Chain A
């Protein structure tokens, strides 16, 4: 029967998923955070239950329309409406809803105050992320297009937007939350596994919405502290390759991009203080290499349509390379 072959294809698709799932840097089904673990469990329970119910309904329909011998009596058919259409869904849904409502408060606790060891401010821009780490000692470390957090700690994210609505989502850690102009949303995440994952903007925010992602790195506490410490200081690369630095200034790049690890600078464009050591450039989609940097500087719009950064038409390819090299040195 053709129908069973369709079902076999479905089974194949499902099993190929489990084979491929080792590459799930952005998969809600390979959780590495408290919320994501719980929701993935919820998903599997609901999926198995749902498939059972679906098979039941389909088999029942096929029985009613094709396989049964004689028509059933009206009374028992009427009873089926009551038991199958009312009692059964009421029972199942009540159980499911109770479970989910019981789950909800613990999934997203208000992490303000004591619970949050770290507050991370994320500002959505077309099409990049400004990231500011606020430490308990009231100092702040500015970065962009990359999120790092210590394993086993509840981190609070404070989400706002500078232009459109964006949505902050690291599937392996937990669900998403929108960044809405004029509002401040909060979400707290607690990672359970060290690793490098990927997050992405989940609310359509303009032409290059697809190009608005970021690496999310979960580190051991000590590594994270060391990383944060190095990021709070100016990069040694700043002083190297003075030609590149001069060109960067002359071309006006500094009007939008900060390079001196100060929270107060920048705003319009991503902070570049330690851009050389980031895992990616261009908000999670180009490798962090000199060539890629140069490509981006030359024609941002060609790699990221609709990007607000202007093309560098008055710079030669050589000059662009020099800037790129200098930037790569900002480790």
Chain B
């Protein structure tokens, strides 16, 4: 390239070494890569493939509905097709595509070499792939889920739902785990791996949005995982959580599902807005106007989105006062959304806009999304929703929101960021053709659905009678869907065939100002050297920055120890704190994903032994992964990163990336536990006597369990302190003691409902008590594994008084365990006594 700097031989050697350290393996081992650009691409392509598959299902659905009383496909196949369409679009495309884009873009955007936990990212991808193929494949065996993508019991708990329901629950739980893994990685990456100087108020908006979204995932997915757990316990073992005959209630699922499901909409929508927030300033040729406005609006949307879930339940007969509250909250969310749209309009107003293909998709998306937002304001009013709910009006509304607020921005992003993949550009001509086909096709498909819905057409019907005025709307919709499909197909052709013939072009053809445009697609190292950032659009404000970075003049330009390294900086001000050695290529990620996947698949078919064995294999794989890949004691204490800065190579506690990962994971875990406790109190509120006249677990055993867990926690905390002061032997003894105490705690926890003869299938009260104590006991068991892990590390000399990262993380785990135990055992032991 013309601006390629001329290098001294030393710099050239440095560059060669850096390249070698970050190189991907070749041959079949390529698939063991963990580098963010590979994993991001795989992730994105897979999500895209799932999207096309779900799109074909949608065409099948539209073909069936083209004419009344059609018998193209059977009712059963139709129900599987629409269920899978919704499920795949939501869980296998809309959320993962942003994890993919984030994994691909964030490191170069933040000036990092890679994500902080590359193997975790790769593990997430493989889990996603296995789970996704499992869920999608089911339809070829006529075994796909058939109860709608929100799986309401009692239909979905009944025999009629068949194995499809288990595939949905277990397959998606597995994918949710992968999503949580990605969320943890994104949060730590954004908080701790930014380039020096990139204070939070200089962060690219994409990073802000992804931080908010990842935070939302941590609080939104666990309620669904908890719900899945209850659901699967009912399906497998007949525990009556949703069975009203035995004290359960189908509405509990609806609450848990929508506490997840509504934030989910914003988890999908916000990252798309984030893409627009990168694209619009570039093509307006100026920084965004109202940076603080848009960040606050995004945070506000994130918060509000957790208070809206009941608007999916307006027709379930809840008291009018709660309907009024949730109507108001649902209207309120329109305000931060409007702020975000007006920030874009203001930025364009104050800039000179170049109307490129990405901008075309962006503007088309906004036009569609605003329409969806306005119908959203309509359906948020309970009285109107009583008519519109569960009709094609809602189908139209949600597609306007999701396609305008997500699909069009993703296509804008695809056209915008494509040069970062391999330097080639997408075809402008095809792009414009595709845009107009998609835009017109979309409106022809979905606009008539508003009218069909108001004229009484319920959603999820496999056919409809001829004489009640829906025929034309449906025929037009189907024709529109074909046009939309042609538009999408054009993009697929462009991506797969056309662009291969394109010569490589400029990497930054748009003259964008953010850091990711420095990256060199043919290199794996993310950034050649890590610059100091002083503005929001460094490439605009610091003309020579790209040259300096590529010449290796900035921080951490070398990999002289032959290790993959990136910088860790402080959360708010991005002061350099540590050189983090990130893990490299490994097949353990695939082994872990395959073994965990086998657990879920085997559970679906009730192969208990297989599932148990693969569970053990998974634990072994993870332990091996951790043992060999984390907490390594460096050969020296500090490293010179250039420009006179020396940073430590090791840190433990709150300064380390691992501690933050544990903190975030456990926050999510705590949310799942809270959701189960919510279930307990939900049953209490809906019944006069929620125990159904049955005996509880008593006070003695729960309190005993609590005491033992408190002691186990204390032993672990003291072990850390003693170890820090050099008392290796005492620390080991304390860890061993902690393990014994927690084992006793687990036993005492289970002894409560066991000794009082609580039968979980008899009534929902014993069932929910059992679930809570099992949850606590399983966490106690994990605590034991962690204590023993530290013990083993200590004996192996990998955990010393100076290098004690693992112990800090385990103590943090136990803090959360303490809270879990306190809540669980007070609830099951003391609460029944108190009422």
Among B76, B328, B342, B391, find the residue whose CB has the most chain A CB atoms closer than 10 A: B342
| B314 nearest CB neighbor, chain A only | A175
Q: Using a CB-CB cutoff of 8 Å, which residues 285-299 of chain B contact chain A?
A: 286, 289-290, 293, 297
| B444 nearest CB neighbor, chain A only | A9
Binary per-residue interface labels of chain A (72-114) against chain B in the complex, 1 for a CB within 8 Å, 0 otherwise: 1110111011001110111001001100110111011000000
B233 to chain A, nearest CB (A): 18
Cross-chain contact B468 with A165 (CB below 8 angstroms):
no
How far, in whole Å, are A64 and B362 apart by their CA atoms in the complex?
A: 14
Partner of A78, one of B160, B346, B378, B440: B346
Q: Using a CB-CB cutoff of 8 Å, which residues 315-348 of chain B contact chain A?
A: 315-317, 320, 323-324, 327-328, 331-332, 334-335, 338-348
A261 to chain B, nearest CB (A): 29
Partner of B386, one of A39, A53, A182, A198: A39
Residues from chain B with Cβ under 8 Å of A84 in the complex: 338, 342, 345
Cross-chain contact A89 with B335 (CB below 8 angstroms):
yes
Cross-chain contact B327 with A81 (CB below 8 angstroms):
no
Cross-chain contact B293 with A61 (CB below 8 angstroms):
no
The answer to whether the Cβ of B155 comes within 8 Å of any Cβ in the partner chain is yes
Residues from chain B with Cβ under 8 Å of A85 in the complex: 293, 297, 335, 338-343
Residues from chain A with Cβ under 8 Å of B75 in the complex: 207-208, 210, 305-306
Cross-chain contact A46 with B384 (CB below 8 angstroms):
yes
Partner of A167, one of B315, B340, B462: B315
Residues from chain A with Cβ under 8 Å of B338 in the complex: 84-86, 88-89
Cross-chain contact B76 with A73 (CB below 8 angstroms):
no
Cross-chain contact B346 with A90 (CB below 8 angstroms):
no
A297 to chain B, nearest CB (A): 20
B459 to chain A, nearest CB (A): 8
How far, in whole Å, are A57 and B297 apart by their CA atoms in the complex?
A: 18
Select the stretch in A19-27, A143-151, A234-242, A317-325 that faces chain B. Answer: A19-27
The answer to whether the Cβ of A10 comes within 8 Å of any Cβ in the partner chain is yes
Cross-chain contact B461 with A175 (CB below 8 angstroms):
no
Residues from chain A with Cβ under 8 Å of B390 in the complex: 167, 176, 202-204
The answer to whether the Cβ of B169 comes within 8 Å of any Cβ in the partner chain is no
Cross-chain contact A74 with B339 (CB below 8 angstroms):
no
A70 to chain B, nearest CB (A): 9
Q: Using a CB-CB cutoff of 8 Å, which residues 358-382 of chain B contact chain A?
A: 359, 363, 366-367, 370-371, 374-375, 377-378, 381-382
A199 to chain B, nearest CB (A): 9
A312 to chain B, nearest CB (A): 21
Cross-chain contact A202 with B335 (CB below 8 angstroms):
no
Residues from chain A with Cβ under 8 Å of B752 in the complex: none
The answer to whether the Cβ of A163 comes within 8 Å of any Cβ in the partner chain is yes
The answer to whether the Cβ of B7 comes within 8 Å of any Cβ in the partner chain is no
How far, in whole Å, are A23 and B465 apart by their CA atoms in the complex?
A: 13
How far, in whole Å, are A38 and B383 apart by their CA atoms in the complex?
A: 9
A76 to chain B, nearest CB (A): 8
Cross-chain contact A28 with B456 (CB below 8 angstroms):
yes
Cross-chain contact B345 with A17 (CB below 8 angstroms):
no
Cross-chain contact B323 with A210 (CB below 8 angstroms):
no
The answer to whether the Cβ of A6 comes within 8 Å of any Cβ in the partner chain is yes
Cross-chain contact B343 with A81 (CB below 8 angstroms):
yes
Select the stretch in B244-252, B613-621, B622-630 that faces chain A. Answer: B244-252
How far, in whole Å, are A54 and B457 apart by their CA atoms in the complex?
A: 25
How far, in whole Å, are A286 and B95 apart by their CA atoms in the complex?
A: 43
Q: Using a CB-CB cutoff of 8 Å, which residues 236-279 of chain B contact chain A?
A: 244-245, 248-251
Cross-chain contact A182 with B468 (CB below 8 angstroms):
no
Partner of B290, one of A71, A78, A178: A78
Cross-chain contact B382 with A86 (CB below 8 angstroms):
no
The answer to whether the Cβ of B832 comes within 8 Å of any Cβ in the partner chain is no
Select the stretch in B446-454, B559-567, B581-589 that faces chain A. Answer: B446-454
Q: A39-B383, A80-B345 are in contact. Are A96 and B389 (CB under 8 A)?
A: no
The majority secondary structure among interface residues of chain B is helix
The answer to whether the Cβ of B282 comes within 8 Å of any Cβ in the partner chain is no
The answer to whether the Cβ of A60 comes within 8 Å of any Cβ in the partner chain is yes
Cross-chain contact A77 with B346 (CB below 8 angstroms):
yes
Residues from chain A with Cβ under 8 Å of B346 in the complex: 64, 77-78, 80-81
How far, in whole Å, are A62 and B346 apart by their CA atoms in the complex?
A: 12
Cross-chain contact B154 with A81 (CB below 8 angstroms):
no
Q: A80-B346, A85-B343 are in contact. Are A24 and B375 (CB under 8 A)?
A: no
The answer to whether the Cβ of B152 comes within 8 Å of any Cβ in the partner chain is yes
Q: Using a CB-CB cutoff of 8 Å, which residues 54-73 of chain B contact chain A?
A: none
Residues from chain B with Cβ under 8 Å of A24 in the complex: 455-456, 468-469
A158 to chain B, nearest CB (A): 11
The answer to whether the Cβ of A181 comes within 8 Å of any Cβ in the partner chain is yes
Among B375, B464, B465, B472, find the residue whose CB has the most chain A CB atoms closer than 10 A: B465
Select the stretch in B181-189, B202-210, B349-357 that faces chain A. Answer: B349-357
A227 to chain B, nearest CB (A): 24
Q: A13-B447, A89-B334 are in contact. Are A204 and B147 (CB under 8 A)?
A: yes
How far, in whole Å, are A26 and B453 apart by their CA atoms in the complex?
A: 10
The answer to whether the Cβ of B443 comes within 8 Å of any Cβ in the partner chain is yes
The answer to whether the Cβ of B148 comes within 8 Å of any Cβ in the partner chain is yes
How far, in whole Å, are A224 and B447 apart by their CA atoms in the complex?
A: 40
The answer to whether the Cβ of A171 comes within 8 Å of any Cβ in the partner chain is yes
Cross-chain contact B155 with A164 (CB below 8 angstroms):
yes
Residues from chain B with Cβ under 8 Å of A72 in the complex: 349-350
Cross-chain contact B454 with A176 (CB below 8 angstroms):
no
Partner of A201, one of B323, B440, B458: B458
B537 to chain A, nearest CB (A): 15
Q: A81-B342, A177-B315 are in contact. Are A71 and B351 (CB under 8 A)?
A: yes
Cross-chain contact A65 with B461 (CB below 8 angstroms):
no
Q: A25-B468, A42-B384, A46-B384 are in contact. Are A74 and B456 (CB under 8 A)?
A: no
The answer to whether the Cβ of B460 comes within 8 Å of any Cβ in the partner chain is yes
Residues from chain B with Cβ under 8 Å of A71 in the complex: 286, 349-352
Residues from chain B with Cβ under 8 Å of A171 in the complex: 387, 454-456
Q: Using a CB-CB cutoff of 8 Å, which residues 492-526 of chain B contact chain A?
A: none
The answer to whether the Cβ of A258 comes within 8 Å of any Cβ in the partner chain is no
Cross-chain contact A100 with B350 (CB below 8 angstroms):
no
The answer to whether the Cβ of A315 comes within 8 Å of any Cβ in the partner chain is no
The answer to whether the Cβ of A58 comes within 8 Å of any Cβ in the partner chain is yes
Cross-chain contact A60 with B345 (CB below 8 angstroms):
yes
Among B323, B334, B443, B458, find the residue whose CB has the most chain A CB atoms closer than 10 A: B458
Binary per-residue interface labels of chain A (33-46) against chain B in the complex, 1 for a CB within 8 Å, 0 otherwise: 00110110011001
Cross-chain contact A29 with B155 (CB below 8 angstroms):
no
| A74 nearest CB neighbor, chain B only | B350
B270 to chain A, nearest CB (A): 16
How far, in whole Å, are A43 and B378 apart by their CA atoms in the complex?
A: 8
The answer to whether the Cβ of A209 comes within 8 Å of any Cβ in the partner chain is yes
Residues from chain A with Cβ under 8 Å of B331 in the complex: 93, 96-97
A62 to chain B, nearest CB (A): 8
Cross-chain contact B348 with A180 (CB below 8 angstroms):
no
Q: A108-B320, A208-B75, A306-B160 are in contact. Are A97 and B381 (CB under 8 A)?
A: yes
B485 to chain A, nearest CB (A): 17
Partner of A93, one of B158, B324, B335: B335
Q: A24-B469, A28-B455 are in contact. Are A204 and B148 (CB under 8 A)?
A: yes
How far, in whole Å, are A216 and B513 apart by their CA atoms in the complex?
A: 63
Binary per-residue interface labels of chain A (184-226) against chain B in the complex, 1 for a CB within 8 Å, 0 otherwise: 0110000000000010111111111110000000000000000
10 additional contacts, CB 8 Å, given A26-B457, A206-B160, A285-B465? A2-B436, A53-B374, A81-B339, A85-B343, A88-B338, A101-B324, A174-B386, A176-B387, A181-B154, A206-B155
**Across the A-B interface, the 5 shortest Cβ-Cβ residue pairs:** A175-B386, A182-B244, A26-B456, A85-B342, A210-B461
Would you mind naming 12 contact pairs between A and B with Cβ atoms under 8 Å apart?
A: A17-B451, A46-B377, A57-B345, A88-B338, A93-B331, A97-B331, A97-B381, A165-B152, A176-B386, A182-B244, A206-B160, A209-B458
Interface residues, chain B, with chain A CB atoms under 8 Å away: 74-76, 79, 146-148, 152, 154-155, 158, 160, 244-245, 248-251, 286, 289-290, 293, 297, 315-317, 320, 323-324, 327-328, 331-332, 334-335, 338-353, 355, 359, 363, 366-367, 370-371, 374-375, 377-378, 381-391, 436, 439-440, 443-444, 447-448, 451, 454-465, 467-469, 472, 476
